[in-house]
Structure 1
Amino acid sequence: MKKLLSLATALTLLAGAGAAQQITVMSWGGTYSQSQIEAYHKPFTAQTGISVINVDSDNPAIPIKAQVEAGNVTTDVVDIEYADAIRLCDEGMLEEIDPAILPPAPDGTPATEDFLPQGLNDCAVGSIVFSTIFAYDSTRFPDEAPQSMADFFDIETFPGKRGLKKAPKALLEMALMADGVPADEVYALLSTDEGIDRAFAKLDSIKRHVVWWETGAQPPQLLADGEVAMTTAYNGRIFTAAVSEGKPFEMVWDGQVYEYNLFAIPRGAPNQEAALEFIKFATDTQRLADQAKWISYGPARRSSAGLVGLYQDGRTEMGPHMPTSPENMRNALASSYDFWVDREAELTERFSAWLAAR
């Protein structure tokens, strides 16, 4: 595998020339970007003298591909989902990263053995595990609260509008689980025409009750404004609204679909040496644990788990709020990156046609 740079070059960078540099990191915005600024950007600048400019996008994979194709790359580090990391790497849009240069765990375990499954890719290094879950406003259901994915689709028992992300990934899986398909059988069924038809039929049952969202900040706002009674959402966004802002929101972990976000370097990034130093810094054991102080996403390294402590409020234990907590994993589904790399274009086209149909 090609090495992006040698260790000697990296040390030279930190020793002198890098002190006056800056890098641009593109991420997803909101509480998530803020957690990266606090856990990664600020301490990285303090240690190296390299300043970090944060740029947000609804989906960083899209502008990064456009930048590389146009030969005008202005981003040094990008935060992307695993399926996009695989696809962009295969398309030659990302620089390769040799995992041998990544810091080991504190006990000396090599990074290649310390990262969780799908935590490393030829062109990307994992940072967090996040989940798509559903949440509800507890004031709307004072007598009986929803407890399962089936309840989310049960408009009669739990009336009210539903918020859904305007994309098929995670949504089709949730529809099948709500229809009684065990989590470990979802992708086998979704790989068939029968399974796809069944997922869309389940979505048909709530289609007229749906309010669609597209960015991570929207679901908690939809709940707060009373536009929906329940919504799918990223778990970290709901946690922040409930714990930091005191909103009466509850998460349901049943049927959660969890996946990874990773750091990568776009092909032709202007500050590749500094970008790689940032990735090495941000994905070491302690830094990944530190991010959990700011948002409830699980670290992508095994050695980080025991270092996860309290939320920034100094009171809330973060462990139980992680997607990877044993209690939350009872009926969880790992997003199949292979499935979505192969089928996303086709299923997005069908999803768009379904949306447009009366």
Structure 2
Amino acid sequence: MAGFVSTAHAQVKLLTYEGAWGDALAAAASASPDLPVIVERYDGSLNAAASTASLVDAETDAANLMCDDGPAQPLNPELAQAFPPSLTLDVTHQCGVGYLVTSLVLTTRSDGPDSWAAFFDAESFPGARALPRGARGTLEIALMADGIALGDVYALLETPEGVTRALDKLDALFAQAQIVFWDTPDDAVALLRADAVAAAALPSVHAAHIVQQQPDASSAFQISFAGQIYRVQRLVVFPAATSDQETVRRLLNAVLSETGQALLAEALLAGPVNPQAWRNIPASLAPLLPTAQSHNIAVTGLADNADFWADHGDDIEARFATWLDVHEQGQSPALPH
């Protein structure tokens, strides 16, 4: 726990995760030494600590639930003043604000496919493929590979015909190549490093680590961000924020400042939402992050639609699981050790 006490304001509590993610957010929050903030940790499930928290760190799915069902509260104009004048994306939320971006990206060796369409072309780019074991992410990739415009992906996927089209695209890939469906990102990383697959859909944080840790240029990995499916990590406003909105505003400002954003990006290999942060991020790191200007995420990226998956996820995941049971028999190699 990190705490900073001020006689002018009561302490406010920031609830974040255990581990490196929470450590980085705590460091960004403490960038202003006179900011009276207490950082506590949680496992992503709301507990007693949340009842006294002013801000809670959450993925968009959880943020939506907190806002729709309580106990989060709508963002008021005073707190919105903490936001930078320009943001890479519209990351505002009815009960908070986004502060970092991660995504699902195409990761290959340097001579591998560089688009989702090429990922599905195993004749031109031979070798096994790795995809998440689930409909979410995998079906969006299949539709993008089939030429569906980014703005039409979820409208199509909402229909039975759209799901069929995505599964048919996966069928076509199955006819050309082995598909390994991974359970954890670490599984996909192991497959790539062992050359057990030629290309993988991989969380951007893990992809960036692979590129950073490659021993030499001859074993180079590359990340393709076109068609990245991105998610926004959020700070959600809780009722305790009303007790000292000025301190909460300053806390949001610290996390969203160019200094705080650069610290978070470098520590976590996630994309900052404040474009001014790039002045403090090493040039060698920028190409590995989802929101780098060169990736033009607002135009070439697909925002993961949490509302869509909340409404339709159970039915689509069940259909995908049935399809996978039929197709996966004898497909997956043992994970390398």
TM-score range (shorter-chain normalised) is 0.7 to 0.9
**For residue 9 of structure 1, what is the aligned residue in structure 2?**
none
Counterparts of 1:235-246 in structure 2, within 5 Å, are: 235-244=204-213, 246=215
Q: Does 1:309 align with 2:279?
A: yes
**For residue 25 of structure 2, what is the aligned residue in structure 1?**
36
Counterparts of 1:202-241 in structure 2, within 5 Å, are: 202-206=169-173, 209-241=178-210
**For residue 323 of structure 2, what is the aligned residue in structure 1?**
354
- Of 295, 298, 301, which residue of structure 1 is paired with 2:271? 298
- Asked whether the equivalents of residues 127 and 198 of structure 2 are also in contact (C-alpha less than 8 Å), the reply is yes
- Asked whether the equivalents of residues 161 and 209 of structure 1 are also in contact (C-alpha less than 8 Å), the reply is yes
> Which amino acid in the other structure matches residue 7 of structure 2?
A
Alignment partners' CA distance in 1, 2:227 and 2:234: 23
What SS does the aligned partner of 2:156 have? Answer: helix
**For residue 334 of structure 2, what is the aligned residue in structure 1?**
none
Counterparts of 1:1-358 in structure 2, within 5 Å, are: 14-15=6-7, 24-26=15-17, 35-36=24-25, 38=27, 40-41=28-29, 43=31, 46-48=33-35, 50=37, 52-54=39-41, 60=44, 63-64=45-46, 67=47, 76=53, 78-104=56-82, 109=85, 114-115=86-87, 118-138=90-110, 141=111, 145-206=112-173, 209-244=178-213, 246=215, 248-264=220-236, 278-300=251-273, 304-309=274-279, 311=281, 314=282, 316=284, 318=286, 321-329=289-297, 331-358=300-327
What SS does the aligned partner of 1:169 have? Answer: helix
Offset, 1:356: 3.0
What SS does the aligned partner of 2:267 have? Answer: coil
TM-score by length of 1: 0.71
What SS does the aligned partner of 2:70 have? Answer: coil
Alignment partners' CA distance in 2, 1:75 and 1:196: 43
Paired positions, count: 315
Moved more, 323-332 or 125-134: 323-332
Alignment partners' CA distance in 2, 1:233 and 1:212: 11
> Which amino acid in the other structure matches residue 264 of structure 1?
V
Change (3 A) 1:215 1:53: farther
TM-score by length of 2: 0.75
Offset, 1:264: 2.1
Change (3 A) 1:128 1:328: same
Offset, 1:232: 0.8
What SS does the aligned partner of 1:308 have? Answer: helix
- Asked whether the equivalents of residues 115 and 224 of structure 2 are also in contact (C-alpha less than 8 Å), the reply is yes
Structure 1: gaps spanning 5 or more residues = 1-11
Offset, 1:305: 0.7
Moved more, 82-91 or 145-154: 82-91
Alignment partners' CA distance in 2, 1:136 and 1:181: 23
Q: Deviations over 1:93-149 (max 9, x none)?
A: 43444342244457xx4xxxx4565412222221023321110133xx4xxx31221
What SS does the aligned partner of 2:223 have? Answer: strand
Alignment partners' CA distance in 2, 1:157 and 1:294: 37
What SS does the aligned partner of 2:210 have? Answer: helix
Change (3 A) 1:51 1:248: farther
Q: Percent identity?
A: 25
Offset, 1:173: 1.2
- Asked whether the equivalents of residues 253 and 332 of structure 1 are also in contact (C-alpha less than 8 Å), the reply is yes
- Asked whether the equivalents of residues 132 and 235 of structure 1 are also in contact (C-alpha less than 8 Å), the reply is yes
Structure 2: gaps spanning 5 or more residues = 328-337
Moved more, 192-201 or 179-188: 179-188
Taking only aligned residues, the RMSD between alpha carbons, in angstroms, comes to: 3.8
- Asked whether the equivalents of residues 175 and 199 of structure 1 are also in contact (C-alpha less than 8 Å), the reply is yes
Alignment partners' CA distance in 1, 2:159 and 2:220: 40
- Asked whether the equivalents of residues 290 and 308 of structure 1 are also in contact (C-alpha less than 8 Å), the reply is no
Change (3 A) 1:34 1:243: farther
Alignment partners' CA distance in 1, 2:304 and 2:15: 29
- Asked whether the equivalents of residues 259 and 280 of structure 2 are also in contact (C-alpha less than 8 Å), the reply is no
Alignment partners' CA distance in 2, 1:331 and 1:89: 29
Change (3 A) 1:224 1:328: farther
Moved more, 258-267 or 272-281: 272-281
